[in-house]
Amino acid sequence: MHTLTAFGHGAAVVIVGAGALGSLIGARLARAGQRVVLVGRSAQVQAIGEAGVTLHEESGTCVVPVPASTDIGLVASAGFVLLCVKSADTEAAARAMAPHLRPESAVLSLQNGVANGPVLATVLQRSVMVGAAYVAASMQAPGVVRHAGGQGLVIGCLPGPQGDSLADDAQKQLRLQLQLQQQLQAGGFDVRLSDAPLTELWRKLVVNCACNAISALAQAPYGVMATVPAVRELQQAVLREAVAVAQAEGHTMALDEMQIAVDRVATTMPAQRSSTAQDLARGRRSEIDQLNGQVVRAAARHGIATPANQALWALVLLQEAVQARTSTAGPV
């Protein structure tokens, strides 16, 4: 474990969650000359501390030294905190960060699902930024990341509780968003600001619902999925349900537009498997509750039937249960 002094004067960006996306962003920002600290689990931190982040990209492979620690208290040194943990860990991470965050520090959630930002705002009692990351990355080993495509990040600010200084200062909100946009652009990302970030998160959620579980259950890359007509029909059914739910939740989107977005996944990342597929392949709990499960729960509030999403959600949960039972079973 590192101490704060090990990082010099302090880190401009502290990334909590040193998985594939967090490590990719951290390595790129560090390569661009920015002060970055990755906070993660011990195996990942040890690998990065010993050998840096090995980054495989289309342009080639490089090794980027990045300070890493298991100490979440290092957020006290941050101008920006990027939260990249799994959605199930959001509340715990927020409670761990809360005593250490400075009032002027900005927090950005770059996570799957639509509930993380509101959870952060509630626990931290402050405005937070949320972002939809259209970036495909996989962790091939601790400290080794492969970028499979996509550079897009869409970020925006959620309101905090009444009386929150950032929520009451629109100019400060915009200034922080522009500053973070510039820092992320320096890392090679295509960053767009949004006045409706929750709608952006719902748009990504809808695409994920049509892609992630199917890829996971078959361990199939997106390009192969697109060649099977029955799979495309299933995706269309999932999309129809998810778009109807998103619209009922007050978010503007069109079915044909979302179909184009799903088709684009297969053409831009044909060899990539979903993050849910990667989780199941490693025997880890996935974020399916925050994807198809989120759609099913929201649909129930509006009386919308979602049998396709219900089936995919249930099947991934079943696969997780089978894996958990297998891993705990002794030798026969």
CB contact at 8 A, 18 and 47:
no
Catalytic position from the list 28, 204, 251, 273 = 204
User: H or E segment at 39?
Assistant: strand 36-39
DSSP character for 272?
P
Report how far residue 230's alpha carbon sits from residue 10's, in angstroms, rounded to the nearest whole number.
53
Q: Is 172 a catalytic residue?
A: no
Chain CA centroid to CA 298, Å:
20
Residue that has been written with the tokens 């970020």 in this structure = 155
Residue that has been written with the tokens 């101490």 in this structure = 3
CA Rg, the chain, in Å? Answer: 20
Chain CA centroid to CA 331, Å:
37
Sign (positive or negative) of CA dihedral 9, 14, 16, 20? negative
Provide the 3-class DSSP secondary structure of residue 14.
strand
User: H or E segment at 146?
Assistant: strand 144-158
CB contact at 8 A, 93 and 73:
no
Hey, what are 56's tokens?
A: 């495989």
Active-site residue numbers?
Answer: 204
